[in-house]
Structure 1
Amino acid sequence: MPLENVAINRICLHEVHQRSDAGAVVAPTYGTGLLVLNGPALAAFRSRVVAAFKSSSQCMEMSIRAHADGSVISNGLRILAASDADFVQLSGLFADGLAGAQTSRQIPGGLIVIFDGTVGNPATQFFGVMKAELHEGFIKTRDLQAQYVSDLFLSPKTKLYKIGLFISDGAAPRPALPEGWSAIVYDSTMTASQRDNAATYFYSAFLGLDIPENAAQQVRKFFDQTKAFIKSTNLPEERKVDLYNGLYSYLKLDRGNTIQTSRFAETFMDEDLADSYLLHMRRERFPTAAVAKDLSEVAGSLKLRRLKFPRSITLSGPPDAVRDLVSVETIDGDAGDSWTQITIRGRIEAQE
Structure 2
Amino acid sequence: MQLTNLHIDKIVIHQIFKKNTDGTEKLPKKSSNFIVFAPSAMETFKIRVIDALGSHSKAVDMVIVRQGQDDVSTAIERLNNSEGDDFIDVSYEIATKLSGAQVRKSIPGGILVVFKGRYSNPEKSFIGVMKAEIHSAYEKTENPNTNEISLKFVEEALLTPATKLYKTAGFFEKTTDNREEAVSDLNNVWHVGISDSQISQTDGKAAAQYFYSSFLGCGYPQSSAKTTREFYEATCEFLTGMDISDEERNDLHNALISYLKYENTEVVSATEFSDRYFDVDTRDQFAEHIEDKGLPLTAFTKDIEQISTRLKQRKLSFSKNVKITAPSDVFKELIDIESITENHDGESVNWTRITVKDRIVSQQ
Q: Give the TM-score normalised by structure 1.
A: 0.59
More strand by share: 1
Counterparts in 2 of 1:123-272, with a 5 A limit?
Answer: 123-135=123-135, 152-154=156-158, 155-174=160-179, 175=182, 176-178=184-186, 179-191=188-200, 195-196=204-205, 198-212=207-221, 213-215=223-225, 218=228
Give the structure 2 partner of residue 74 of structure 1.
74
Rounded to whole Å, the distance in 2 between the matches of 1:216 and 1:91 is 36
8 Å contact kept, 2:129–2:168: yes
- CA distance in structure 1 between the partners assigned to 2:213 and 2:60 by the alignment: 13
RMSD of aligned alpha carbons: 4.1
The equivalences for 1:272-311 within 5 A come to: none
> Counterparts of 2:111 and 2:335 in 1: how far apart (Å)?
47
Seen in structure 2, the aligned counterparts of structure 1 residues 190 and 215 have a Cα distance that, compared at 3 Å, is: farther
Note the C-alpha offset of 1:173.
2.9
Partner residue, 2:45: 45
1:97 aligned partner: 97
Please list the CA deviations of residues 212-241 of structure 1 after superposition, one character each: whole Å capped at 9, or x if unmatched. Answer: 242487459x9xxxxxxxxxxxxxxxxxxx
Query: Per-residue deviation at 1:102?
Result: 0.8
Residues 53, 170 of structure 2: 8 Å contact kept: no
1:156 shift after superposition: 2.8
Question: Aligned partners of 1:13 and 1:249: how far apart in 2?
Answer: 43
The residue that corresponds to 2:88 in the other structure is 88
Distance 1:319 1:23 in 2: 59
Name the amino acid aligned to 2:210. Y
| Counterpart for residue 325 of structure 1 | 355
Contact 1:161–1:187 (CA under 8 A) maintained in structure 2: yes
In structure 1, what is the Cα distance between the partners aligned to 2:256 and 2:34?
Answer: 55
Give 1:53 deviation, angstroms.
2.5
Any stretches of 5+ residues in structure 2 without a counterpart? Answer: 138-151, 233-252, 259-302, 312-327, 339-352
Shift of 1:55: 6.6
2:283 is matched with none
The 8 Å contact of residues 117 and 126 in structure 1, kept in 2 or not, is answered as: yes
Counterparts of 1:66 and 1:17, CA distance in 2: 25
* Counterpart Cα distance in 2 of 1:55 and 1:330: 49
- After TM superposition, the score normalised by the length of structure 2 is 0.57
Counterpart contact for 1:10–1:115, Cα < 8 Å: yes
Q: Distance in 2 between matches of 1:84 and 1:317?
A: 66
Amino acid at match of 2:172: I
Asked if 2 retains the 8 angstrom alpha-carbon contact of 1:248 and 1:319, the reply is: no
CA apart distance, 1:13: 0.4
- Whether contact under 8 Å (1:57, 1:190) holds in the other structure is no
Aligned partner of 1:262 in structure 2 is none
Specify which structure has the higher proportion of helix.
2
- Encode CA deviations 1:84-136: one digit per residue, 9 max, x unaligned: 11111111111111001111111100100011111111111111111012256
In 2, Cα distance between equivalents of 1:318 and 1:185 = 40
1:58–1:190: 8 Å Cα contact kept in structure 2?
no
**One-letter amino acid of the counterpart of residue 6, structure 1:** L
Shifted more, 192-201 versus 76-85: the winner is 192-201
Between 1:169-178 and 1:53-62, the stretch displaced more is 53-62
Tell me the CA shift for residue 180 of structure 1.
2.3
Rounded to whole Å, the distance in 2 between the matches of 1:44 and 1:38 is: 10
Percentage identity across aligned positions?
A: 29
Give the aligned residue type for 2:220. I
The answer on whether the counterparts of 2:174 and 2:189 sit within 8 Å (CA) in structure 1 is: yes
Deviation at 1:22, TM superposition (A): 1.6
Distance in 1, matches of 2:255 and 2:58, equals: 28
Structure 1 stretch displaced more, 22-31 or 173-182: 173-182
CA shift digits 1:223-267 (9 cap, x unpaired): xxxxxxxxxxxxxxxxxxxxxxxx969969xxxxxxxxxxxxxxx
